[in-house]
A = this chain, B = another copy of it.
Amino acid sequence: MSGRASPRNDQARQPTSYDVAQAAGVSQSAVSRCFRPGGSIAPETRARVLKAARELGYQPNAIASGLKAKRSNLVAVLISNLTNLYYPEVLAGLSRRLNASDNRVLLFALETEDEVDAALDQVWRYRVDGAIVAARLQAAQLRAFQRHRVPVVLYNRLSDGPDPVPSVACDSPGGERMLVDRLLAGGHRRFGLICGPEDNTVGRSRVEAARARLGAAGLTPAVTGGSFDHDSGAQGFRRLMTQSGNALDAVICANDLMAIGAIDAAREVYGLDVPRDVSVVGFDGVGPAAWASYRLTTVRQPVDRMTEAAVSMLLERVADPELPPEVRTFAGKLVPGGSARLG
């Protein structure tokens, strides 16, 4: 119909390897081999093909390639509390390392843990090569990973199921013991604990470890709930003060954000000086913990090494799905800071 309107204007469609082959005067499979490591191709033909590809603006279609190769180079990353100050750093690390190893990140930022199932549905659909999960996974969900033959590595979540699952975590009990021991050595006796969300295994293990260590010293702390955010730290501090008749030596918080909230409450609501009147410690080592207004005494997670471990464990299992589960635990580093009188 249109009188020879287009002398080459069907660039509406991305060029395919076939277009490149034609332009370079070779077969389509030769083009394919040029873009695949280990493809046997003569340097000369290769040069011709690459030239043609450049001129046409050709990029191999990862979707098609994934379909054929049964390997999408997609890694799902599920994270539940993206706005909680600790995870952005984790996500940045995971993303950097995954991209460096030629994998793409399919991100699922979960607002609540009950969105997991919906996310997993998509995970299966996209035939990801593997997944890194920083969210609570039910036993059934873990089984689904097995069923779908998708390797998974848990990040700072312990599996509740009976079977071990590959995971990396920071040694919460060890970190809490360091904190408690130093606080005890500093002369504190009347303790308060602010917990994480009830369904959070990491938070629970931190609180339990602290409690156990205090118990071993013959002490019973006041305990109150929390939800890992600033506000719940502030409120938790107030409840602890009430519970203890305003007699607190030290407050141990299940994470930094709550510890910062507790410090704010101690100062604003009670006019207390931290650490003179009360010591406050956290866990994680997030950026704001180091700010001059807080100088939080905490345990810093070695995020860099942990993300490195998570990614390499996953890639190993993508390469060899038969590898046995493995749990890699990293010791945290005590950051003395200035919000607690340590011994």
Contact = CB atoms under 8 A, between A and B. Distances in A.
A109 B97 CA distance: 11
Interface in A230-289: 230, 234, 260-261, 263-265, 267-268, 287-288
A135 interface: no
B96 A109 contact: yes
Contacts of A265: 292
A293 to B, nearest CB: 4
A64 B67 contact: yes
A230 B287 contact: yes
Interface stretch (A119-127, A187-195, A203-211): A119-127
Given A230-B291, A267-B293, A293-B264, A105 B107 contact: yes
Given A88-B88, A264-B291, A293-B267, A127 B96 contact: no
Residue picked from A61, A82, A107, A126, most chain B C-beta under 10 Å? A107
Interface of A: 11-12, 14, 57, 59-64, 66-67, 72, 77, 82-83, 85, 87-89, 91-92, 95-96, 99, 104-109, 111, 118-119, 121-122, 124-127, 147-149, 230, 234, 260-261, 263-265, 267-268, 287-288, 291-294
